[in-house]
Structure 1
Amino acid sequence: MNYQEYRQSLNQRLTYKVQRELSSFREEMQAKTPQEIYDAAYQIAMKNEIADCFSNADYSPQAAKAFMKSPNLLQDVYEEWLGREDSHMDELRQTIADFKSYMVKTEKILSGKER
C-alpha cells in the first residue's frame, strides 16, 4: 500500500467512525420525546454538519490517527464548537445588519426617496 492509499484508508476509517457515532446519536434522539428532540434541534443540526465536514475532508495520516483516538469524536468536536460559538453569532448578527441595510435602501428606492 502506497502513501496515498494509506492516507485514503485512514480517512475512510475516520469517516466511518464519525458516521457510526452520528447513527448512534440519531438512535438516541429517536428514543426521546418530541419536546426533547425540539430542545436538541441545534445539537442535531450541528452534529450533522460536523459529520459532513469529516466526510469531505482529507487529513494527513497523523491527523486522522489523532482524531480516531477520541472516544466520541462527534461529541468532542460539538463541545469544542460550543466554546467558539461567538464567532458564529457575530456572523449571524452581521448578516442581519447587512440585510437590514439592503432592505432599508431598497425601500427608499421604491418609495422614490433615493436614487
Structure 2
Amino acid sequence: MAEKADVIRNLDQEIEGFNENSKTQPADLRMKKLEYYTALRNGIDVMPLNAPQIDALARCDNLLFMADRVFTAHVNKSETQPDYTSLCFWFADDVYREERMNKLWERLNSENEGYREELLQKTPKEIYESAYEISMKNELVMLFEESNISARRIDALLTLEYPLDALYREWLDSDASFLDMLLDSSENLIEKQDAYLQRQDYITHGETPSEDITLWNAMYDGDEMRYSGEDNEADEDLEQ
C-alpha cells in the first residue's frame, strides 16, 4: 500500500521535470502552471485521502497531464484566480476514477471475450440462438468505454463477480425492452414520413411521385384524420 509521501515525491519529480523542460514556454504561462502545480502538490499533501485514492495517485505515471485535464475541465478562461482547493479534490477524484474506469472496462471486455470463446465451442444453431445476447453484450461494453459515471458507481459494478452478465440480465428484466426502443424509433420515422407526404415536399423538390406515393395520395389525400390539431386549424383558417 502506497503512502501519501510517495505521491508527493512523484509530484515533486514531475514538477521539477516541467520546470527544466518548459524554459522555452512564455514566461506568464510557465509561471501560472508552476503556481497551479505547486498549489496542487501542497493541497494533496494536507487534504484527507482514502487509501485507495492514495494508491491510484501513486500508480499514476503522468500526474501533471491529469492535472492539466482537470484544470481545462473545471476552470473558465476568464477566471483570474482558480479555486485550487476544489481543483485538488477534483484532481484526486479524477485520477482515482480513471484507474477504476480502466479496470471496469478491462473486466467487461475480458468477460465478453471469455463469453465469445465459450460460444466457439457450441454448435452453429446454439450460436445463432445467442445472437441477441452477443449483440447486447457488445453494446454494453461500448457503452461503458465512453461512460462518465461516477467513481462510486464504477466501484459498485466492480463488486460484482460478472458485471457484464449482471448488466445483461438486468436489461432483460427491465421494463423497457429493446423492441420497445425499436418500436419508438419506427414510429418516429413513420410520423416524419407521413408529415413529408402531407406537405407534398416531393413536389417542392421536383421529384416524380413513385407508385407508392401515388397510392398513398389516393388513399389519404384530404383525410383530415391524418392532420394534427394545428394543421386542421390552419386549414380551417384558409377555408374561411
The TM-score, its normalising length taken from structure 1, stands at 0.82
Structure with the higher helix share, 1 or 2: 1
Residues paired across the two proteins, number:
115
Rounded to whole Å, the distance in 2 between the matches of 1:85 and 1:47 is: 18
The TM-score, its normalising length taken from structure 2, stands at 0.42
Q: 2:163 aligns with which of 46, 70, 73?
A: 73
Rounded to whole Å, the distance in 1 between the matches of 2:136 and 2:165 is: 10
> Alpha carbons of 1:86 and 1:8: their partners in 2 closer, same or farther (altered >3 Å)?
closer
Q: Please report how far the alpha carbon of residue 97 of structure 1 lies from its aligned counterpart in structure 2 after TM superposition.
A: 3.9
Task: Report the equivalent of 1:21.
Answer: 111
Rounded to whole Å, the distance in 2 between the matches of 1:75 and 1:30 is: 18
> Alpha carbons of 1:84 and 1:107: their partners in 2 closer, same or farther (altered >3 Å)?
farther
Q: Which has the higher contact order (CA 8 A, sep 6+)?
A: 1
Aligned-pair identity in percent equals: 27
> Alpha carbons of 1:85 and 1:36: their partners in 2 closer, same or farther (altered >3 Å)?
farther
Mark the structure with the bigger radius of gyration: 2
For the pair 1:95 / 2:185, whether they are aligned, the reply is yes
> Alpha carbons of 1:32 and 1:6: their partners in 2 closer, same or farther (altered >3 Å)?
same
Amino acid at match of 1:111: T
Q: Gaps (5+ residues) in structure 2? A: 1-56, 58-91, 198-208, 223-240
Amino acid at match of 2:150: S
Quick check: 1:10–1:65 contact (8 Å CA) kept in 2? yes
Q: 1:57 aligns with which of 147, 151, 157?
A: 147
> Alpha carbons of 1:66 and 1:97: their partners in 2 closer, same or farther (altered >3 Å)?
closer
Q: Please report how far the alpha carbon of residue 4 of structure 1 lies from its aligned counterpart in structure 2 after TM superposition.
A: 1.4
